[in-house]
Amino acid sequence: MAATVRRQRPRRLACWALMTVLLADLLALSDTLAVMSVDLGSESMKVAIVKPGVPMEIVLNKESRRKTPVTVTLKENERFFGDSAASMAIKNPKATLRYFQHLLGKQENNPHVALYKARFPEHELGFDPQRQTVYFQISPQLQFSPEEVLSMLLNYSRSLAEDFAEQPIKDAVITVPAFFNQAERRAVLQAARMAGLKVLQLINDNTATALSYGVFRRKDINSTAQNIMFYDMGSGSTVCTIVTYQTVKTKDAGMQPQLQIRGVGFDRTLGGLEMELRLREHLAGLFNEQRKGQRAKDVRENPRAMAKLLREANRLKTVLSANADHVAQIEGLMDDVDFKAKVTRAEFEELCADLFERVPGPVQQALQSAEMKLDEIEQVILVGGATRVPKVQEVLLKAVGKEELGKNINADEAAAMGAVYQAAALSKAFKVKPFVVRDAVIYPILVEFTREVEEETGVRSLKHNKRVLFSRMGPYPQRKVITFNRYSHDFNFHINYGDLGFLGPEDLRIFGSQNLTTVKLKGVGESFKKYPDYESKGIKAHFNLDESGVLSLDRVESVFETLVEDSPEEESTLTKLGNTISSLFGGGSTPDTKENGTDTVQEEEEGPVEGSKDEPGEQAELKEEAEAPAEDTSSPPPPEAKGAAAPEGEKATEKDGGDKPEAQKPSEKGEAGSEGAPPAPEEEKKQKPARKQRMVEEIGVELVILDLPDLPEDQLARSAQKLQDLTLRDLQKQEREKAANSLEAFIFETQDKLYQPEYQEVSTEEQREDISGKLSATSTWLEDEGFGATTAMLKEKLAELRKLCHGLFFRVEERKKWPERLSALDNLLNHSSMFLKGARLIPEMDQIFTEVEMTTLEKIINETWAWKNATVAEQAKLSATEKPVLLSKDIEAKMAALDREVQYLLNKAKFAKPRPRPRDKNGTRAEAPLNASASDQSEKVIPPPGQTEDTKPIPEPEKETGPEAADSEPLELGGPAAESEQKEHPEQPTGQKGTLKNDEL
């Protein structure tokens, strides 16, 4: 029995562990009942939410629009967002920031910074010497980095989502362009951190669009691969994506649809904004020609006039998409001079001719990266607002060679809907149908290191090695492990971008630094000294390219192994517990896998120099690993088979379980190795083979970021606090404006009411003059000094006026309520009296109400009648200007008391059961009442002669009396009064009173 208990204990503990995990998940749901997505475009953003009862809905902003301009206006004492900020662009263009995402992750010498200055010369950009970046210098006191401005906008988008969802939201999925590099992605994450948002994932906007397309066409996806091309031309850039849809077999959910990004091409500066800028320049030239002889200034030197021209160019571009020509007109463009000019579509296309020539470029890039041909593409679908330009569609249709372009997707909202679906899939609060998403790495990443080698006897030289960590178009999220076998002391290695030859010269300049991080390891030599008798398995660096496409170095470990004899002792209870929990949780060898993602762990050994003859085989192997089916991602990959032997006799990579650090602590000396299957028990007892024991030592890591330094923690905290103070100031301002509006509205409404007949009827001339004087004085104060008044002062003024007018408003409201309340009271009294009269007519033998209950109801009815008549008479004697004695709340209280007593009696009658019929002295039943049914009368039983009622015959009469007679006592729902009544008048077996009562009736 004891052995049985020992075997069950691990399972019992495992059940407790499972319950603990489930309870933690349930507690986590309390704060994650709603999630949001933010589709950050260059010109506008779309916000979507998912909450219980509201699946995937676009959020409406304060102007009830589905998209919001990505615009922020920053002034000394106030901020504006969205449409309000866009309208301020003309009044205050310097303080109105637009298209600031183009500056994220860019240093001052980046061509994009110079391009932004040329496009928007009204903005003054400062220089941050610490990070070599720029910031907006709005005034000597106001300066904000692009990350801080984006954080403000993200916080505003969350406020819109919270107002729409009517609950707090902190989890979000944010879209970013597919061409964003590591620095740009980290900048977005830092902006979200300043805003207090928990980013579930940064999803590429082209991937979100593809996910939205697949989710709404799930039934059309089958095992046959379908290649779809999405051509997305927005305001700031163009991205072309090739996506393959097909169903795959997953480990947990069986056959499920999957999308795989096969190819991506892009143009960072090709979009609707550049077309509008060309059109604005054309309109500015026309305006200058119209005023050529007036010695006027160049309109390009006036920021306000240029802001008006840009807005008109935006409108003109939209109109010319559907019309051959249109008239551009601006009232008071500059110096109170109106502008009017006719522009044709042909002129517009001529202005943007070089832009239209760049339209096929992303298509060719996407095909090259996917290694596909146009014949393999089934459909080309348009996404983005700029694809509505007819010339863009014409050039694109010719480039792809299709009969028509697909327009069966919402070009503006597809990315937001796909992102919010991914947010629901990543959140613990929702259960969605799985849709496997396999995104692709745009920029390859490699590891570079240098070590000494001995080429000849006594001759040592330095050898530079490159190892491809994440190859181009390889899937992510993914984990990789690099093993350094030839180091026994501290060393450095570098993480850089790989071959970027697919980018043009200008794109490389915009891309920025190709060096990511220098990693300095400390403690390698000490780890070798700590385990001198162990065999080194190398220094293992664990890398993670997460769902957001952000690379991180999780940890670096020094791994050692030795052979120890296997102990014949029975495995411990702790080991059994670990095995039981592992089996209970499906193996427990890997962390939780996401339904819409992959998590591949691959280990690489130190290898030959990049570009050698061994590299193609190595890269092919990496690609094959990355393209493994999604269902295999939850288990460790098999050992890699190298295409060529490592130099100098380096050992091939072995399966070390590097993705399971928890199982590799030095304290776990008794843990068996992972190689090979265990022998049979009999053979084990005979041979007792040695097993491998692994020891893992953590290595210190120092990271030197080279591409763009992140904001230091103290500066990040200061920025977050600064933005929080601005948000608090905005809330205080809104509260003050609300108080001022309430005070002003009360003054106007009350002044109007004083002249209405119903208010004049209940007030004297002196009272109205007093109120009117106070209202006028407050109105004057509000106009003269109200602009400097605090919120507390405004609320105090409003409270004083309400107190002054309370008596007047009270009398009017009471007189409005009297007719309805008195009519309802009369109806209730009449119905209650009729109910009481009917209750008293019930025969005594069938009576279900006690005398106390009926007397109590009668008393309440009489008291209510008396109170009503007396109060109405007293009110009639009072003047209309005096405080009334007939109050609506008193009427409602009387009605509630009377209704409560009537409802008590009605409920008692509803659940009461009829009493059994008594027998007469001759042994016959009492005469049935007049309204008794025939079936009731047929149930009379006459006992045989000579048998009295006291004797107990066979229980035939009880069967005939029906189920009612089986209950010895009727169900009483009354109170103490009813119980006392029942005790004072017990049931009489003779039934004579009941017969007399029936005769009387």
Q: What letter would DSSP give residue 704?
A: E
Closest CA to 928 of 835, 836, 843: 843
Token couple for 106: 């860019």
Q: CA quadruple 192, 198, 204, 206: dihedral positive or negative?
A: negative
Q: Specify whether the backbone of 470 is left (phi greater than 0), alpha (psi in -120 to 50) or beta.
A: beta
Confidence at residue 17, expressed as pLDDT on a 0 to 100 scale: 52
Burial class (CB in 10 A: 0-12, 13-18, 19+), 307: buried
Q: What residue has token string 């030859």?
A: 501
Closest CA to 818 of 737, 762, 860: 762
**CA–CA gap between residue 436 and residue 254 (Å, rounded):** 12
Confidence at residue 788, expressed as pLDDT on a 0 to 100 scale: 82
- The string over 197-225, giving b where at least 16 C-beta atoms fall within 10 Å of a residue's C-beta and e elsewhere, is bebbbbbbbbbbbbbbbbbbeeeebeeee
- Where helices occur in 389-447 by DSSP H, the ranges are 390-400, 414-426
Confidence at residue 936, expressed as pLDDT on a 0 to 100 scale: 42
Confidence at residue 627, expressed as pLDDT on a 0 to 100 scale: 34
CB contact at 8 A, 918 and 991: yes
Between 53-67, 568-582, 863-877, the lowest mean confidence (pLDDT) is in: 568-582
* CB-facing half-sphere around the CA of 452: CA atoms within 13 A: 9
- For the chain, the structural domain boundaries read 35-270+359-438, 273-357, 443-565, 814-910
**CA–CA gap between residue 158 and residue 152 (Å, rounded):** 10
Which pLDDT band holds residue 577 (cuts at 50, 70, 90)?
low
Cis peptide before 477, with omega less than 30 degrees from 0? yes
Q: Specify whether the backbone of 264 is left (phi greater than 0), alpha (psi in -120 to 50) or beta.
A: beta
Token couple for 652: 């091939």
CB contact at 8 A, 128 and 137: no
Token couple for 859: 């008393």
Between 606-610, 812-816, 970-974, the lowest mean confidence (pLDDT) is in: 970-974
| N-terminal to C-terminal alpha carbon distance within the chain | 80
Closest CA to 635 of 686, 598, 661: 598
- 35-270+359-438 CATH, one of 3.50.50.60, 3.40.50.80, 3.40.50.720, 3.30.420.40: 3.30.420.40
Contacts with 10 (C-beta within 8 Å, 6 or more apart), sequence order: 573, 576, 577, 579, 580, 581
What CA–CA distances, in Å, run from 326 to 279, 285, 334, 663, 937? 13, 17, 21, 71, 97
Q: What letter would DSSP give residue 548?
A: T
What CA–CA distances, in Å, run from 386 to 321, 393, 963? 10, 10, 82
CB contact at 8 A, 716 and 525: no
The architecture in CATH of the region 273-357 reads Alpha-Beta Complex (3.90)
Strand boundaries in 606-730, DSSP class E: 690-698, 700-705
Global pTM value: 0.72
CB contact at 8 A, 74 and 85: no
Confidence at residue 568, expressed as pLDDT on a 0 to 100 scale: 52
Contacts with 125 (C-beta within 8 Å, 6 or more apart), sequence order: 113, 116, 117, 134, 135, 136, 137
CATH 2.60.34 correct for 443-565: yes
Q: Calculate mean pLDDT across residues 214-234.
A: 92
What CA–CA distances, in Å, run from 341 to 284, 331, 344, 387? 11, 12, 10, 26
Which pLDDT band holds residue 909 (cuts at 50, 70, 90)?
confident
Between 304-308, 625-629, 774-778, 959-963, the lowest mean confidence (pLDDT) is in: 625-629
Between 367-376, 600-609, 640-649, 826-835, the lowest mean confidence (pLDDT) is in: 640-649
> How many CB atoms neighbour CB 780 within 10 A?
11
**CA–CA gap between residue 913 and residue 935 (Å, rounded):** 18
Confidence at residue 918, expressed as pLDDT on a 0 to 100 scale: 63
Closest CA to 177 of 207, 150, 157, 151: 207
Token couple for 882: 């005096």
Q: Calculate mean pLDDT across residues 745-765.
A: 90
> How many CB atoms neighbour CB 956 within 10 A?
9
**CA–CA gap between residue 582 and residue 575 (Å, rounded):** 10
Q: Calculate mean pLDDT across residues 179-202.
A: 94
Q: What are phi and psi of 50, to 5 degrees?
A: -130, 125
Which pLDDT band holds residue 692 (cuts at 50, 70, 90)?
confident
**CA–CA gap between residue 467 and residue 487 (Å, rounded):** 16
Confidence at residue 535, expressed as pLDDT on a 0 to 100 scale: 86
Which of 851 and 666 is assigned the larger pLDDT?
851
Q: Output the DSSP codes for 183-195.
A: HHHHHHHHHHHHT
Confidence at residue 564, expressed as pLDDT on a 0 to 100 scale: 76
Token couple for 213: 């397309």
The average confidence (pLDDT) of the chain is 79
Torsion of CA 144, 148, 153, 156, to 10 degrees: -100
CB contact at 8 A, 359 and 324: no
Q: Calculate mean pLDDT across residues 937-959.
A: 42
Token couple for 322: 């559907």
Which of 20 and 911 is assigned the larger pLDDT?
911
Look at residue 917 and tell me whether its pLDDT is greater than 80: no
Distance of CA 147 to the CA centre of its chain: 21
**CA–CA gap between residue 637 and residue 625 (Å, rounded):** 8
**CA–CA gap between residue 350 and residue 354 (Å, rounded):** 8
Contacts with 598 (C-beta within 8 Å, 6 or more apart), sequence order: 436, 438, 475, 476, 477, 478, 630, 633
Angle at 176 between CA 601 and CA 217, to 5 degrees: 80
Closest CA to 450 of 470, 466, 432: 466
Q: What residue has token string 């990496």?
A: 622
Q: CA quadruple 388, 392, 398, 399: dihedral positive or negative?
A: negative
Angle at 41 between CA 38 and CA 42, to 5 degrees: 145
The strand pair at 478-484 and 600-605 is best described as parallel
Look at residue 238 and tell me whether its pLDDT is greater than 90: yes
> Which amino acid would we find at residue 373?
K
**CA–CA gap between residue 517 and residue 66 (Å, rounded):** 41
Q: CA quadruple 332, 115, 232, 361: dihedral positive or negative?
A: positive
List, for residues 260-318, the tens digit of each pLDDT value.
Answer: 999 999 999 999 999 999 999 999 999 988 887 666 788 888 999 999 999 999 999 99
Q: What are phi and psi of 342, to 5 degrees?
A: -95, 135
Contacts with 939 (C-beta within 8 Å, 6 or more apart), sequence order: 960, 961, 962
List, for residues 701-733, the tens digit of each pLDDT value.
Answer: 999 999 888 888 888 899 999 899 998 988 888
> Which amino acid would we find at residue 128?
D
Q: Residue 448 forms beta bridges with which residues?
A: 466, 494
List, for residues 482-535, the tens digit of each pLDDT value.
Answer: 999 888 888 999 999 999 989 988 899 999 899 999 999 999 888 888 888 888
Which of 389 and 690 is assigned the larger pLDDT?
389
Which of 911 and 154 is assigned the larger pLDDT?
154
Q: What letter would DSSP give residue 435?
A: -
Q: Calculate mean pLDDT across residues 412-438.
A: 91
Confidence at residue 847, expressed as pLDDT on a 0 to 100 scale: 85
Contacts with 259 (C-beta within 8 Å, 6 or more apart), sequence order: 207, 210, 211, 214, 243, 244, 245, 435, 436, 437, 438
Q: Calculate mean pLDDT across residues 467-480.
A: 92
**CA–CA gap between residue 150 and residue 720 (Å, rounded):** 12
Confidence at residue 463, expressed as pLDDT on a 0 to 100 scale: 81
List, for residues 597-647, the tens digit of each pLDDT value.
Answer: 444 455 554 443 333 333 333 333 333 333 333 333 333 333 333 333 333
Q: Specify whether the backbone of 578 is left (phi greater than 0), alpha (psi in -120 to 50) or beta.
A: alpha
**CA–CA gap between residue 71 and residue 88 (Å, rounded):** 10
Which of 912 and 432 is assigned the larger pLDDT?
432
979 sits in which H/E element: helix 976-984
